[in-house]
Amino acid sequence: MLDAAAIARYRETGFATPMRAVDAAQAETWRADLVRCCGQAERPVSAAGIRQPSNRIKPYLLFPWAAELVRNPAILDAVEAVIGPDILIFHTTIWWKAAQSEGFVPWHQDGTYFGLAPFEHVTAWLALTPSTAESGCVRVLPGSQKLGQLPHADQKDPANMLSRGQTVQAAVDATAAVNLELQPGEFSLHHTLALHSSAPNLAAHDRIGLGISYIPASVRHVGPTRLSATLVRGVDRFGHFDLEPRPAAEADAAARATHADSINRFWVASEGIPEMRLVH
């Protein structure tokens, strides 16, 4: 998926796009599965605030179709090209912007929130509906991953899709940003320190996609809570995470128990690292 020139561009810009994972028909099948399984979802409230709906976090632990999606060979080939052959999934979130809605994501770096070291995590963003400038696609500031970890602060706004409004404090020249426009079945990659954001959805259709956080098995979590992750390619020689099983059936008792355990650990960890609280 990525030749030497494309890998060099990723190292320079902090992103790669567009690449095709599946055809439009398969993307539509996954979209229908997602709507069926995750269409009705409430945002749980905790003492710290409002989190993402639980069935939209790590859905690959609940649903076989999502487990297949995150193991897509084309996505894993591209990920392997930038982080190596031993690949874990640390986190996954469904990003769903309703048509004609005001939801937006401010400029931020993913690395601020996950508590991972070193900064080798890459996000694959897979589109299941058209993700365009009009529908509020991801936009990235090229080369911003070279700035290192930047300070962030909470900026409350009811339309902000990051629960606390986590926003980078550095001035961002948005005129230099690149829109990562994707059609259903296409995906992009962006580095964990790449500054990125997205605007409201002005289109007549919902913008639905998944952000999948892949890490090399050598990466560890810096907090005291032992977390779990899913091995999707290669081998885990490090044992930094408890490995998660693939669901045998849709949201059966075993899958629900695995999912609950995983996200509960994640939320405990997020409370211990201020920048991770209510992480998207």
Parent domain of 228: 4-276
Q: Give the torsion sign (CA, 120, 264, 94, 158).
A: negative
Q: How many domains does the chain have?
A: 1
Chain-wide mean pLDDT for the chain?
89
Determine the average pLDDT of the residues in 111-140.
95
- Cβ atoms within 10 Å of 270's Cβ, excluding its own: 22
CATH code of the domain covering residue 216: 2.60.120.620
d(CA 160, CA 180): 20
Identify the H or E element spanning 28.
Answer: helix 24-38
Q: What is the CA radius of gyration of the chain?
A: 17
Q: Write out pLDDT tens, residues 230-262.
A: 999 999 999 999 999 999 999 899 999 999 999
Model's pTM, two decimal places?
0.91
pLDDT for 139 beyond 60: yes
Residue with more model confidence, 272 or 212: 212
Q: Write out pLDDT tens, residues 7-55.
A: 999 999 999 999 999 999 999 999 999 998 887 655 444 443 434 557 7
State the pLDDT at residue 280: 39
Instruction: Give me the phi and psi of 262, to 5 degrees please.
Output: -65, -50
Q: Write out pLDDT tens, residues 77-87.
A: 999 999 999 99
- Non-local (6+) Cβ contacts of 184 within 8 A are 24, 27, 28, 31, 127, 128, 129, 130
Quote the longest CA-to-CA distance of the chain: 49
Are the C-beta atoms of residues 131 and 212 closer than 8 Å to each other? no
Q: What percent of the chain lies above the pLDDT cut of 70? A: 91
Residues in the chain: 280
Are the C-beta atoms of residues 186 and 20 closer than 8 Å to each other? yes
173-193 burial, b for 16+ CB within 10 Å, e for fewer?
eeeebebbbbebbbbbbbbbb
> Amino acid identity, residue 267?
W
List the structure tokens of 167.
């926003």
Which residue do the tokens 């989190």 mark? 51
Q: Write out pLDDT tens, residues 57-112.
A: 899 999 999 999 999 999 999 999 999 999 999 999 899 999 999 988 889 999 88
